[in-house]
């Protein structure tokens, strides 16, 4: 299911159509959405005076996961983004005493706007203040020929490290870890 668009964007769609006189095609390009969505927003505004169909209701079975469970899922994926779905299932059972399927957890992650992507690893040993101090000290030397650099990048042992993780859609999945 695609992500719901905000009511602010729906208001802008109506303004672009009624006030600015843009066509549905121009609005769909500007808002980066489909022409059908623009048409539905305009029809709902014309018929009901609001942006959503007041007669539509949510169908299906209510979710087994409460808001606290979803908050817990978001917290454990933030702390360890490379958890597998079955590991999340075990953590939910152990900590929250909730027994749900892996498919339910997958749907909950989509509802939380989290997506699975390649993990970008950042060094856990890196200290930003110490690095900034070092950069200021090195700025005193204007001649780059006085430096000798040693490359130890081939020392990183990536065996057993997970390649995929969870992070909010549109953001990279960065995991701070100790490099071996």
CA–CA distances in Å: residue 115 to residues 2, 80, 119, 160: 13, 14, 11, 22
Mind listing the pLDDT tens digit for each residue in 141-170? 877 777 776 655 555 555 567 888 888 888
d(CA 169, CA 171): 6
DSSP state of 144: G
CA–CA distances in Å: residue 124 to residues 69, 110, 140, 175: 29, 28, 28, 9
Confidence of residue 25 (pLDDT cuts 50, 70, 90): very high
Residue 179 has pLDDT above 70, yes or no: no
d(CA 133, CA 135): 5
- The residue-averaged pLDDT of 122-139 equals 77
pTM higher than 0.85, yes or no?
Answer: no
Mind listing the pLDDT tens digit for each residue in 32-86? 888 998 998 998 888 888 877 667 777 788 888 999 999 999 999 988 888 999 9
Cβ neighbours, 10 Å, residue 175: 17
The predicted structure's pLDDT at residue 74: 93
Give phi and psi for 126, each to the nearest 5: -70, 130
């Amino acid at each position: 299911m695609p992500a719901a668009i905000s009511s602010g964007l729906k208001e802008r769609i109506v303004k672009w159509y009624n006030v600015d006189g843009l066509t549905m095609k121009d609005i769909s390009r500007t808002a980066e959405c489909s022409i059908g969505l623009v048409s539905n927003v305009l029809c709902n505004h014309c018929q009901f005076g609001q942006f959503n169909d007041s007669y539509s209701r949510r169908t299906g079975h209510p979710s087994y996961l409460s808001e606290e469970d979803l908050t817990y899922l978001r917290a454990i994926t933030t702390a360890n983004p490379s958890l597998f779905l079955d590991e999340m299932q075990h953590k939910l059972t152990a900590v929250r005493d909730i027994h749900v399927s892996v498919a339910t957890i997958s749907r909950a992650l989509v509802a939380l706007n989290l997506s699975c992507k390649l993990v970008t690893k950042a060094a856990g040993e890196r200290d930003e203040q110490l690095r900034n101090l070092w950069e200021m000290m090195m700025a005193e030397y204007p001649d780059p020929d006085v430096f000798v650099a040693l490359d130890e990048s081939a020392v990183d042992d990536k065996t057993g490290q997970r390649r995929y993780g969870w992070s909010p859609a549109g953001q990279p999945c960065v995991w701070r870890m100790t490099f071996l």
